[in-house]
């Protein structure tokens, strides 16, 4: 599947936002670095909990604040919302190219968004030291993106190398072949 094949499809940020929510996102950008920014983002989320623009803004806020646990929660919410819109009937752990097919037919851009959220969650798990959990997410993206359009292979290799290093730290006298 070519994840760059999404010509003439709408993108998540083209979905109309109510003016109040749009104003809250603008206010959050204007007050970034202050407690008020998060308040504005959370209020926008409470008004539009299924709007991907709101979820992306909240994710980015938490990511840049190094609040990775919160960012993962938002990434998982974005995946849930996107899966529902794509009519995916299984969790990310059980996705196959075949099960992803219905989503691809509905919207390649939303399918790509879903996989980007999964990749982001995997990366955050790595940053939090949860290597095995992060690797599982990244390997799923790698499995579904055989052409590596999402540039996940390097992260997968980094995670695998880290797991090997951790094993050597636990069992220092074991020789790896």
What gap in Å lies between CA 61 and CA 126, rounded to an integer?
Answer: 19
Predicted local confidence at residue 177, as pLDDT: 53
What gap in Å lies between CA 96 and CA 57, rounded to an integer?
Answer: 29
What gap in Å lies between CA 108 and CA 96, rounded to an integer?
Answer: 15
Predicted local confidence at residue 3, as pLDDT: 47
Predicted local confidence at residue 4, as pLDDT: 47
Q: What is the dihedral of CA 24, 61, 116, 79, to 10 degrees?
A: -60
Query: pLDDT 10s per residue in the chain (177 long)?
Result: 444 454 555 555 567 899 999 999 999 999 998 889 999 999 999 999 999 999 999 999 999 999 999 999 999 999 999 999 999 988 999 999 998 888 888 889 999 999 999 999 999 999 999 999 999 999 999 999 989 999 999 999 999 999 999 888 776 665 555
Residue 104 class from Cβ within 10 Å (0-12 exposed, 13-18 middle, 19+ buried)?
middle
Predicted local confidence at residue 6, as pLDDT: 47
What gap in Å lies between CA 139 and CA 126, rounded to an integer?
Answer: 13
Q: Which pTM does this prediction carry?
A: 0.86
- Tell me the domains of the chain and their CATH numbers: 12-170 (1.25.40.10)
């Amino acid at each position: 599947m070519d994840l760059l094949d999404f010509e003439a499809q709408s993108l998540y940020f083209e979905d109309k936002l109510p003016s109040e929510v749009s104003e809250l996102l603008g206010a959050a950008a204007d007050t970034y670095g202050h407690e008020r920014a998060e308040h504005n983002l959370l209020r926008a989320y409470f008004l539009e909990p299924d709007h991907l623009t709101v979820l992306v803004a909240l994710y980015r806020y938490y990511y840049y604040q190094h609040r990775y646990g919160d960012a993962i929660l938002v990434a998982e919410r974005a995946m849930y919302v996107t899966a529902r819109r794509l009519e995916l009937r299984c969790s990310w752990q059980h996705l196959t190219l075949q099960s992803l097919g219905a989503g691809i037919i509905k919207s390649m851009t939303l399918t790509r968004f879903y996989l980007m959220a999964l990749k982001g969650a995997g990366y955050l798990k790595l940053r939090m030291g949860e290597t095995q959990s992060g690797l599982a997410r990244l390997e799923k993206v790698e499995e579904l993106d055989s052409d590596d359009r999402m540039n996940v292979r390097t992260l997968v290799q980094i995670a695998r190398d880290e797991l090997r290093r951790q094993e050597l730290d636990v069992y220092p006298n074991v020789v790896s072949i």
